[in-house]
Amino acid sequence: MVFSVTILGSNSAIPTLKRNPSAHLLNVNERIFLLDCAEGTQLQLRRYRIHFQRIRHIMISHLHGDHYYGLIGFLTTLHLLGRKDELHIYAPAGLEEIIQMQLNVSSTTLIYPVIFHPLVSAALQPLFEDERVMVHSFPLLHSVPTFGFLFREKIKVRKNPALRAYAYCTDTAYDEQIIPWISGVDLLYHEATFMQDMAAAAAEKMHSTAREAAMIAKKSRVKKLLIGHFSARYDDLTPLLHESRELFPETFLAEDGITINV
């Protein structure tokens, strides 16, 4: 039984030599999901020896470039590698038009099916379900329509079903409205772009601080908190970790290349 997340990118908008912008790879019993696809994501996939063709589902949280600028390159690489299997993309509706325009101007027709699933601002939207996993989206509070994703693994304990869960909440202001959807999850990823001394800037840009991420984790009674989407201003992330752990001790840093079991 595998339920793990690999961090492909942990930074916010500006990449650094140490940290790529947002991308996570989730493995739920060999169902492989890519969450966001920033610039350089396919290089990270190669660096960490992840087989491209195993990815069947891509979730794009919102249409700020640092969450999808790597997508067209990834799609065309799959094309050049001869992919035949269909690929499902879950994203705000405008992404399909963006991708199609990029394909049109380069006279590219992909040799495999790409199926777009538009995200809507519903409280909890079912996206995918099979015998191993359930996936939902839910709205976050940001400057453009933005969505979090909730993954629940279906497991059997003797004759009774049980669930393990991972919630992905990137690019959001502090928002207690998400608590009912993420309550009690085994692992919560929550953005922590700034430290608390920049709380005013975080609020203005509709982002969160490390302390605010910890407050959400504590109020949601999650088991573990993973913080990321760090501003490029922070070379050393230890102060953000300490700030969050003061309120929620089971906090960990999302660092490029690490794999965490849910």
Domain extent, residue 143, equals 3-261
Catalytic residues: 66
Q: How many domains does the chain have?
A: 1
Q: What is the CATH number of the domain that holds 76?
A: 3.60.15.10
Contact 24, 105 (CB under 8 A): no
CA nearest 186: which of 166, 163, 169? 166
Check residue 221 and report its DSSP letter.
T
Mean pLDDT of 36-47: 97
Classify 61 in phi/psi space as left (phi over 0), alpha (psi -120 to 50) or beta.
Answer: alpha
- pLDDT at residue 159 tops 90: no
pLDDT digits (tens, 9 = 90+) for 66-77: 999 999 999 999
pTM: 0.96
Measured torsion, CA atoms of residues 7, 12, 15, 17, in degrees rounded to the nearest 10? -60
- pLDDT at residue 161 tops 70: no
Residues recorded for the chain? 262
Residue 158: the pLDDT is 58
